[in-house]
Amino acid sequence: MTVLITGGAGYIGSHTCVELLNAGYEIVVVDNFSNSYPEALRRVKEITGKNFHEYPIDLLDQEGLESIFLKHKISSVIHFAGLKAVGESVSEPLWYYRNNVIGTIILCEVMKKNDVKNLVFSSSATVYGKPDTVPIPEDSLLKTTNPYGRTKYMIEEILRDVYVADPEWSIARLRYFNPIGAHISGKIGEAPQGTPNNLLPYISQVAVGKLNELKVFGNDYETQDGTGVRDYIHVVDLSIGHVKALEKVESERGVHTYNLGTGRGYSVLEMIEAFEKASGQEISYIVSKRRPGDIPVCFADTRKAFEELGWRAERGINEMCEDAWRWQWRNPEGYHSIEADHQTSLEKESTKFFVAPQQEKVLK
Ligand code: NAD
Ligand code: WQD
């Protein structure tokens, strides 16, 4: 039995592929590479010494998706594929609703048609909006504040309705807090296109000399040092959480909702300090005004995931920063430069890699 990973070439997807392969699962990856590179999957194979099929298919391409279900005996799906930039979702809401919401509906329709009803879905702590209390338990009021967050909220609701209509489905809705860090090998990590929006990739690029200085968005919040506090979680811990969630949906039907965080918040200034310690580099920063839409404090109540999945995050903030730094200095351009070299060799040997008509691509 095989697990289909949508968005498997992305940041969290690629790390989860490693953990699934290490746990003995067979996987198949679908990704349109709109925010990732095939090189990430090549490196997953290098890290694990295991091979798998990958398909450059868009979720909106229903026929393409169906062909994968016909070709492979899929038992479960982990669904990462989605657009995730909050600011972009404000300027391009229709694109976000189409890609994220309609993409998920198409995926579920294809799953239903092929009698595959186990699904693990990437939701986000963004569904909580500005929380009334911290730590945030799963049964908090949901009041997300931007189109990206609303796609996650809508998909969560759609998935509940799918289960209510047919209790043969088994669904986990995983609400991630702030994933950072990278695989210990330094071979895979977060590779944002353009200037990063998120704190850790921004700090990493200042440390490696690609960006001049960080803007700290506000130091007048009611927090220990006035800067925003978040629950940063190591991407490998998060990925292991997916393996546990998959075991849960495969063994107990229902709609299961879990926070995946550490339960501990760090301020922006604490993160700068931790990264300086891990990297030995000074992080230049200036304090600027608050970023619109930011909340002061956000961290998870992690008890439910521990009680029901037996999972908790193990890696601390120093390890997160050390691993992020190793990835960053070894790959200052992310996957980009290697991908360009690789593309050239792919073009030369295209017949070896591409098998029409299913667009199957197996990289060694
Ligand atoms: P990512 O952009 O690195 O990965 C998403 C992957 O999905 C990319 O490889 C992209 O090419 C692919 N994709 C997007 N639309 C697609 C489509 N229509 N068809 C096929 N592939 C498509 O992002 P990530 O950080 O790995 O996030 C994975 C998931 O987790 C996303 O759904 C995101 O919203 C969610 N999430 C991320 C964070 C975070 O901070 N990184 C936090 C909470 C939730
Ligand atoms: C963290 C802290 C900023 C950048 C976002 C999305 C959320 C989720 C994760 C997907 C805040 C401060 C940041 C900078 C700064 N993604 N900061 N200077 O805002 O918690 O969440 O990513 O679901 O939906 O909203 O993460 O990393 O952007 O910010 O001072 O250049 O760092 O103000 O306090 P955030 P972040």
DSSP assignment of 236-298, as one string?
A: HHHHHHHHHHHHHHHHS-EEEEEEES-S--EEHHHHHHHHHHHH-----EEEEPPPTT--SB-
Q: What is the pLDDT of residues 74-86, one digit of tens each?
A: 999 999 999 999 9
Distance 156 CA to ligand 2 centre (A): 22
pLDDT at residue number 341: 54
**Does ligand 2 have an atom closer than 6 angstroms to the CB of 42?**
no
Residues 333, 233, 154, 147: what is their CA dihedral angle, to the nearest 10 degrees?
Answer: -50
pLDDT at residue number 201: 98
**Ligand 1 atom 41 nearest Cα:** 179
Ligand nearest to the Cα of 86, by number: 2
270-304 b/e (C-beta count within 10 Å ≥ 16 → b): bbbebbeebbebebebeeeeeeeeebbbbbbbbeb
The amino acid sitting at 25 is Y
Name every residue whose Cβ is closer than 8 Å to that of residue 343 and which is 6 or more positions away in sequence: none
Ligand nearest to the Cα of 127, by number: 2
**Does ligand 2 have an atom closer than 6 angstroms to the CB of 124?**
yes
Residue 351 inside a domain? The answer is no
Q: How far is CA 309 from the centre of its chain?
A: 19
Q: How far apart are CA 222 and CA 187, in angstroms?
A: 38
pLDDT at residue number 91: 97
Q: Higher-confidence residue: 349 or 299?
A: 299
Mutating to test ligand 2, I would choose from 155, 156, 198, 215 the residue with most ligand atoms within 8 A of its C-beta, which is 198
How many domains are contained in the chain?
A: 1
Mutating to test ligand 2, I would choose from 223, 268, 273, 287 the residue with most ligand atoms within 8 A of its C-beta, which is 268
Residue 357 inside a domain? The answer is no
Q: What is the pLDDT of residues 172-210, one digit of tens each?
A: 999 999 999 999 999 999 999 999 999 999 999 999 999
Give 175's strand partners. Answer: 123, 259
Residue 356 inside a domain? The answer is no
**Ligand 1 atom 19 nearest Cα:** 58
148 is catalytic: yes
Residue 324 inside a domain? The answer is yes
- Rounded mean pLDDT of the chain? 93
**Ligand 1 atom 22 nearest Cα:** 81
Pocket-forming residues, ligand 1, beta carbon under 6 Å: 7, 9-13, 31-36, 58-60, 80-84, 99, 103, 122, 124, 176, 178-179
Q: Match 């600011």 to its residue by tokens.
A: 87
Q: Match 């998060």 to its residue by tokens.
A: 238
Band the pLDDT of 336: cuts 50, 70, 90. Answer: confident
Mutating to test ligand 1, I would choose from 61, 78, 84 the residue with most ligand atoms within 8 A of its C-beta, which is 84
- CA-CA-CA-CA torsion sign (215, 220, 226, 229): negative
Residue 354 inside a domain? The answer is no
Instruction: At 130, give phi and psi (nearest 5°).
Output: -85, 110
Ligand nearest to the Cα of 175, by number: 1
106-136 b/e (C-beta count within 10 Å ≥ 16 → b): bbbebbeeeebbbbbbbbbbbbbbebeebbb
In ligand 2, the atom with minimum distance to the C-alpha of 271 is 32
pLDDT at residue number 340: 53
Three-class DSSP category at 95: helix
Instruction: Report the pLDDT averaged over residues 28-43.
Output: 98
pLDDT at residue number 349: 39
Q: Which entry of 37, 96, 148, 258 is annotated as an active-site residue?
A: 148
Note whether 248 and 300 are within 8 A (CB): no
Band the pLDDT of 346: cuts 50, 70, 90. Answer: very low
Residue 24's nearest CA partner among 41, 2, 44, 46 is: 2
Distance 13 CA to ligand 1 centre (A): 8
Residue 361 inside a domain? The answer is no
**Does ligand 2 have an atom closer than 6 angstroms to the CB of 268?**
yes
Q: What is the pLDDT of residues 135-153, one digit of tens each?
A: 999 999 999 999 999 999 9
Give 172's strand partners. Answer: 120, 256
Ligand nearest to the Cα of 296, by number: 2
pLDDT at residue number 1: 85
User: For the chain, what percent of residues have pLDDT higher than 70?
Assistant: 92
Instruction: At 213, give phi and psi (nearest 5°).
Output: -155, 155
Name every residue whose Cβ is closer than 8 Å to that of residue 345 and which is 6 or more positions away in sequence: none
Distance 85 CA to ligand 1 centre (A): 9
With 0-12 / 13-18 / 19 or more C-beta atoms within 10 angstroms meaning exposed / middle / buried, residue 62 is: middle
**Does ligand 2 have an atom closer than 6 angstroms to the CB of 202?**
yes
Q: pTM of the entire structure?
A: 0.94
- CA-CA-CA-CA torsion sign (51, 52, 57, 59): negative
Distance 242 CA to ligand 1 centre (A): 14
**How far is it between the farthest Cα atoms of the chain?**
59
Note whether 182 and 190 are within 8 A (CB): yes
Domain residues for the domain of 128 are 2-337
Note whether 146 and 126 are within 8 A (CB): yes
Residue 345 inside a domain? The answer is no
DSSP character for 212? S
- We report the CATH number of the domain holding residue 151 as 3.40.50.720
As given in the structure block, the two tokens for residue 296 are 């002061």
**Ligand 2 atom 28 nearest Cα:** 198
